[in-house]
């Protein structure tokens, strides 16, 4: 009896958590298929017209492209840098590696708003006032910890001594990296880059401080839009973003799960 009660409480609790987390998302998804002029729930009739309408608005597709390029550019920096940092952290003596790792993880711990303000100050001090350039730099910094984390994790799960074994079999350090280390890190690197992409694409706080009016990112465009409009178009754009994130997450799951194929 006691056990069954515990199970029941567990199920209720789990459902509540899932519902709490997912319900708003689901409502946005449902609303995006609404046919009405204003956001309302439940919806009376279905249509995909808001997807077409919203994505035809220049502010959305242009900012979506901005966000896409920004996320790709940030990953292009954070990927190699994170990989190199993870390799260096693992090879360095702990006395050096631990502080460096801690510093690289800081963007995860510092409140987003504080970090954003710091990055703005940094951009002013360094004189990098070109909005796309400083957005690129800031996003690269913000997403870097995720790449480092996942790369360190895959280095940690690498079988001991494989690199040394490769050396004794005649591979130079570069070929060891090329044929052994990198293939074994690929799942971690890939997952890290995918998360980094999503985080950059969804980022609001950093962009908010560093963006200029001419080249907003998609999340900022959505924020601006809902200040003056309340139609299901914004839900349609959001739904597209959710779909993109889910697609990437699914891809990661596939790729990391099928490690052998990747290797």
Partner 1 sequence: MSSLALQIDAVVKRFGATTAVNNLSLDVTQGEFVSLLGPSGCGKTTTLRMIAGLERPSAGTIRIAGIDVSAMPPEARDIGMVFQSLALFPHMTVADNVAFGLRMRGRATDRLAERVREALDRVRLSGFEDRYPDTLSGGQQQRVALARAIVTSPAVLLLDEPFSALDRSLREALTLEFSGLLREIGATTVFVTHDQEEAFAMSDRVAVIEGGRLMQCDAPATVFGRPSCTRVARFVGMSNLLPVTKGTDGALRCELGPLSLVADARGVPPAVVGFRPDDIRLADPAPDSAGLQFSARISRCTFRGRQVQLELTPDLAPGHSLRMLAESGSPIPETGVVRNFLVAPERLHLMGE
Measured CA distances, 251 to 34, 43, 191, 256 (Å): 29, 32, 9, 8
Q: Which is nearer to partner 1, 4 or 260 (CB)?
A: 260
In whole angstroms, how close is the CB of 263 to partner 1 at the nearest point?
3
In whole angstroms, how close is the CB of 91 to partner 1 at the nearest point?
14
Residue ranges binding partner 1 (CB under 8 A) = 159-162, 164-172, 175, 179-180, 183-184, 259-260, 263
Query: Which tokens go with 207?
Result: 């962009």
- How far is Cα 167 from Cα 171, in angstroms, rounded to an integer? 5
Backbone angles phi, psi at 34, to 5 degrees: -80, 155
Q: Which is nearer to partner 1, 14 or 262 (CB)?
A: 262
- How far is Cα 119 from Cα 239, in angstroms, rounded to an integer? 30
Q: Which is nearer to partner 1, 75 or 184 (CB)?
A: 184
Cβ atoms within 10 Å of 18's Cβ, excluding its own? 10
Q: Which is nearer to partner 1, 190 or 209 (CB)?
A: 190
Q: Which is nearer to partner 1, 105 or 171 (CB)?
A: 171
DSSP assignment letter at 258? T
Place of tokens 């060891």: 176
Q: Which is nearer to partner 1, 42 or 94 (CB)?
A: 94
CB 230 within 8 A of CB 39: yes
The angle, 0 to 180 degrees and rounded to 10, between the axes of the packed helices 233-257 and 218-228 is 160
Q: Which is nearer to partner 1, 6 or 165 (CB)?
A: 165
Residues with Cβ within 8 Å of residue 138, at least 6 apart in sequence? 116, 119, 123, 206, 210
In whole angstroms, how close is the CB of 163 to partner 1 at the nearest point?
8
In whole angstroms, how close is the CB of 184 to partner 1 at the nearest point?
6
In whole angstroms, how close is the CB of 84 to partner 1 at the nearest point?
21
CA atoms within 13 A on the CB side of 33: 8
In whole angstroms, how close is the CB of 148 to partner 1 at the nearest point?
22
- How far is Cα 52 from Cα 58, in angstroms, rounded to an integer? 12
């Amino acid at each position: 009896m006691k056990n069954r009660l515990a199970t029941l409480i567990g199920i209720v609790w789990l459902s509540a958590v899932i519902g709490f987390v997912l319900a708003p998302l689901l409502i946005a998804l449902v609303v995006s298929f609404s046919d009405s002029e204003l956001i309302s729930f439940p919806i009376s009739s279905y249509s995909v017209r808001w997807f077409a309408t919203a994505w035809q608005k220049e502010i959305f597709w242009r900012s979506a492209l901005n966000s896409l390029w920004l996320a790709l550019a940030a990953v292009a920096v954070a990927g190699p840098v994170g990989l190199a940092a993870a390799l260096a952290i693992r090879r360095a003596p702990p006395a050096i590696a631990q502080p460096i790792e801690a510093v690289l993880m800081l963007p995860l711990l510092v409140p987003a708003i504080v970090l954003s303000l710091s990055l703005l100050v940094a951009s002013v001090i360094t004189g990098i006032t070109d909005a796309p350039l400083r957005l690129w730099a800031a996003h690269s910094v913000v997403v870097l910890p995720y790449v480092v984390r996942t790369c360190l994790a895959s280095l940690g799960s690498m079988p001991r001594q494989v690199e040394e074994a490769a050396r004794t079999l005649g591979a130079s350090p570069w070929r060891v990296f090329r044929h052994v280390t990198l293939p074994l890190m690929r799942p971690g690197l890939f997952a890290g880059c995918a998360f980094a992409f999503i985080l950059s694409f969804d980022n609001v706080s950093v962009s908010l401080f560093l963006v200029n009016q001419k080249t907003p990112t998609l999340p900022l465009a959505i924020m601006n839009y809902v200040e003056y409009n309340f139609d299901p178009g914004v839900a349609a754009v959001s739904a597209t973003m959710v779909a993109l994130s889910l697609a990437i997450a699914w891809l990661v799951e596939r790729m990391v799960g099928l490690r052998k194929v990747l290797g």
